Amino acid sequence: MTAGLEGHLYGLARWALLEHEVLTCADIGCGQGLWIETLAEDVGLDKCVGVEAFGPYVERCIEDRKGGIEWVHTTGLEWLGAQPTGFWDAVLLLDVIEHQTPAESAALLSEARRVARKIVVLYTPMGFRAQAPEDVKDRSGEPWTNPHQEHKCGWDALDLRECGFSTRLLSETNCDNTFNIFAWTTRVGILRR
């Protein structure tokens, strides 16, 4: 993984999975799959799924990745809603909840806690930070616009603590007074907010 914030975040996510002896993991909003693929190998996960709403990312995951990870094209909320309670050891929500409306993100947290048997791990900017849909390029250089990259809400550490999460603030390099939140909870069950 890269140095700096991403490297530190990777170390924290890895720690959370190892500390809780996670063998099965669902990565909601997996993007192009690098996090779950790297964690699966590094932590020794037995069963993994990457769930992503942006179809071109899922297609790229299927084309580029070796076997062992199931790639699913749907929203995190739809996928989690279809999972049995306590089915997955861990649910990852890395850079996901800020892309939902406030009601959708609260529902996503609730469903993640319901589906996780051991731990839910999340990462999000602290507070609301505007971000428009992002243009990315496919292999031929043609632009894609990923509408799911728009930020629609913001959470702070107190909000997450009230939902039963432990939090750690991470400072971004090259940004003045900008923080992100790494959070986790082992208090799984239905979230009430």
pLDDT at 20: 95
For residue 192, being part of any structural domain is answered with no
CATH number at 150 reads: 3.40.50.150
Cα separations (Å) of 64 from 4, 54, 59, 110, 145?
26, 16, 9, 32, 20
For residue 24, being part of any structural domain is answered with yes
Which domain does 146 fall in, by range? 5-185
For residue 53, being part of any structural domain is answered with yes
Compute the mean pLDDT over every residue in the chain, rounded to the nearest whole number. Answer: 86
β-strand pairing of 24-28 with 47-52: parallel
pLDDT at 164: 86
For residue 191, being part of any structural domain is answered with no
For residue 74, being part of any structural domain is answered with yes
Q: Pick the residue with more confidence: 16 or 2?
A: 16
For residue 68, being part of any structural domain is answered with yes
> Tens digit of pLDDT for each residue in 130-182?
888 776 666 667 777 888 888 999 999 999 989 889 988 886 654 555 678 88
> Tens digit of pLDDT for each residue in 12-25?
999 999 999 999 99
Give the number of domains in the chain: 1
Cβ neighbour number for residue 162 with a 10 Å cutoff: 11
